[in-house]
Amino acid sequence: MNRAIQFKLKNGKVVTIRRVRAGDYDAMMKYLAKFSRDVGAVQTFRYPGEPKKDKEESMRFYESPDRCFIAAWDGDNIIGSASISKVMPKHPYCMGRVAGVGMSVLNKYTRNGLGSKFLQILEKWACENGVKKLKAGIRHKNIASIVNCIKHDFIITGIQYNELYIDGEWQHEYLLEKILEK
């Protein structure tokens, strides 16, 4: 994605979706602090009170050519973000042909079409950047994310049992994939 786009949510509000750049570090940290207190955070690696991400490392992450990191803005505030990262882009056996996707949307903005739009944008970037397969790891109780991926033609290819221990309970992780090109 090279240009910012305006996207109309199902509730009528128009938000801006564009790539996250090094200069967005502060806005991104504000978003992550907010999201980590949100109900959906338990489905990701975010948690309340987590330390702030390193600035230099984050900026490199945002600007890496092997990745596309996007966010949706309501005015000056980020309300959701998504990324696609090539797996081992320099390794001769991989060459970034496989890429992992992930995303989050503030609870208040969910069920408005953003997660679906994010997946479309990430898939377009994948097709334009030599990625042949998308993959995602989703916690077994994360119905919203599993259904979103399946709606976009991902299939469940496996399950990893007891991957994470959250609030006294083991969480399993479904592995989902979408072949873009054989």
Ligand X SMILES: CC(C)(COP(=O)(O)OP(=O)(O)OC[C@H]1O[C@@H](n2cnc3c(N)ncnc32)[C@H](O)[C@@H]1OP(=O)(O)O)[C@@H](O)C(=O)NCCC(=O)NCCS
Count of other CB atoms within 10 angstroms of residue 83: 22
SS3 26: helix
Q: Provide CB contacts within 8 A for 176, sequence distance 6+.
A: 135, 136, 137, 138, 146, 149, 150, 154, 155, 156, 157
- Smallest separation, CB 67 to ligand X (Å): 16
Count of residues interacting with ligand X (CB under 6 A): 23
Interatomic CA distance for residues 90 and 86, integer angstroms: 10
Considering the complex, state which of residue 113 and residue 130 has its C-beta at the smaller distance from ligand X: 113
| Interface with ligand X (CB under 6 A), residue from 27, 66, 87, 113 | 113
Considering the complex, state which of residue 40 and residue 130 has its C-beta at the smaller distance from ligand X: 40
Binding to ligand X, residues 27-56 (CB under 6 A): 40, 43-44
| Interface with ligand X (CB under 6 A), residue from 58, 83, 112, 171 | 112
Considering the complex, state which of residue 59 and residue 123 has its C-beta at the smaller distance from ligand X: 123
Interatomic CA distance for residues 114 and 100, integer angstroms: 18
SS3 45: coil
- Based on the shown chain and the rule CB under 6 A, indicate whether residue 102 belongs to the binding site for ligand X: yes
Interatomic CA distance for residues 111 and 102, integer angstroms: 17
Binding mask 126-165 for ligand X (x = CB under 6 A): ----------x-x---xxxx-xx--x--------------
The two tokens of residue 43 are 């489905």
- Smallest separation, CB 96 to ligand X (Å): 20
- Smallest separation, CB 137 to ligand X (Å): 7
Considering the complex, state which of residue 22 and residue 166 has its C-beta at the smaller distance from ligand X: 166
Q: Which letter does DSSP use for residue 12 in this model?
A: S
Binding to ligand X, residues 7-26 (CB under 6 A): none
**Of 136, 66, 60, 130, which is closest to residue 104 (Cα–Cα)?**
136
The contact set with ligand X (CB under 6 A) reads 40, 43-44, 102-105, 110-116, 136, 138, 142-145, 147-148, 151
